[in-house]
Amino acid sequence: MARRRHEPFFAVIGGSTAYEFISSGAIKGERIGRIDTPFGASQPAFRVEAGDCSYFFMSRHGEADFDISAPFVNYRANIYALKDLGVRQIISWSAAGALKETSETGRFFVLDDCIDFTKNRETTFFRFKGLGFIRQNEPFCPTMRAATMGALQELGIPFNDRGTYICTEGPRMETPAEVRMFAALGGDLVGMTLCPEMFLARELEMCYASIAYVTNCAEGIRQRDYRPGRLYEGLSTRREQKTVARSFKLLPQVIARLGELLPNITPSCHCQQAMRYYQGRSGVGRDWREWLNP
């Protein structure tokens, strides 16, 4: 049975330049604002109504320009806040560099795996408890992935149905040697934002999937002159940037269609049962807030 519009159950975490959708009005919604959590304040949340679709929206990097870079995002506060709003499913997007020359600029990837190379981030809600030994056999929710691919197919948008994302610490970009290593490890794309966000969502039993889109080839894949004052110092051309911009503008349509599909899809995943083993043991009950208390 489809849910009523005034009961959003999924959320969108917008990645690079998500604030443009807010400032331009491409995504319109009631501004809920920052939400206080035990881990600090979240980024501002919005309640969006788009046709028959109702969802929460949060811009990972801020709502006006690029306020905060990937290593310093308060991922725990953002995920906690969305859970507190009643969200059970999350779709995110993230810009990424291609580790293979054959990956087209602007191409969408529905990610299916990840390698975490971050170093200094708070990676778990369970720092003070012996909890959180959770399998990552399918790190991105298969139900959400299938729904996302369905939305892209219906809209006629080309995409790759798999992709391994390498998450680095940042904010610096990767060296050519690192890029060669990531490619040798089986990576397809490299970015800075999905870890620990995706793992935190699983700890709170939330389905999570992500769309990545190629903004450039990573360092050393193609020979590019250094150009001070330009985006990525010349790692991408103006022509490629226009291609990326066209892909980026498609995201609100993808989200709206996904929101229409999700209420009619029966989950085939185990994301919302990730903590079942711990429930009833060591004082862990059904109330997810109690899991996090030191």
DSSP secondary structure of 218-234: PBTTB-----TTSGGGG
Q: Is residue 3 part of a domain?
A: no
Q: Is residue 255 part of a domain?
A: yes
Residues contacting residue 108 through CB under 8 Å, at least 6 positions apart: 152, 157, 158, 159, 160, 211, 212, 213, 247
Residue with tokens 């040697």: 177
- Judge whether 64 and 57 are in contact, CB under 8 Å: no
- What crossing angle do the helices spanning 251-261 and 142-154 adopt, rounded to 10°? 120
Q: Is residue 2 part of a domain?
A: no
Q: Is residue 58 part of a domain?
A: yes
Q: How far is CA 275 from CA 21, 75, 87, 153, 271, in A?
A: 35, 20, 17, 33, 9
So what's the pLDDT on residue 1? Answer: 33
The radius of gyration computed from the CA coordinates of the chain, to the nearest angstrom, equals 19
Average pLDDT per 10 consecutive residues for the chain, totaling 294 residues: 58 88 85 94 92 89 83 97 96 96 93 98 91 93 97 97 97 96 98 98 97 94 83 83 94 93 89 89 80 75
Q: Is residue 187 part of a domain?
A: yes
Q: Do you find a cis peptide bond into 196, omega within 30 degrees of 0? A: yes
3-class secondary structure, 130? coil
Domains in the chain, number: 1
- Judge whether 87 and 78 are in contact, CB under 8 Å: no
229 alpha-carbon distance from chain centroid:
28
CA–CA dist 84, 157 (Å, integer): 33
Q: Is residue 275 part of a domain?
A: yes
- Judge whether 240 and 97 are in contact, CB under 8 Å: no
Across-strand partners of 97?
190, 216
Q: Is residue 4 part of a domain?
A: no
So what's the pLDDT on residue 252? Answer: 92
CATH label of the domain that carries residue 195: 3.40.50.1580
Residue with tokens 């050393």: 220
Q: Is residue 112 part of a domain?
A: yes
What is the reported pTM? 0.93
So what's the pLDDT on residue 3? Answer: 41
Domain range for 69 is 10-291
So what's the pLDDT on residue 5? Answer: 44
8 alpha-carbon distance from chain centroid:
18
Query: For residue 127, what is the DSSP state?
Result: T
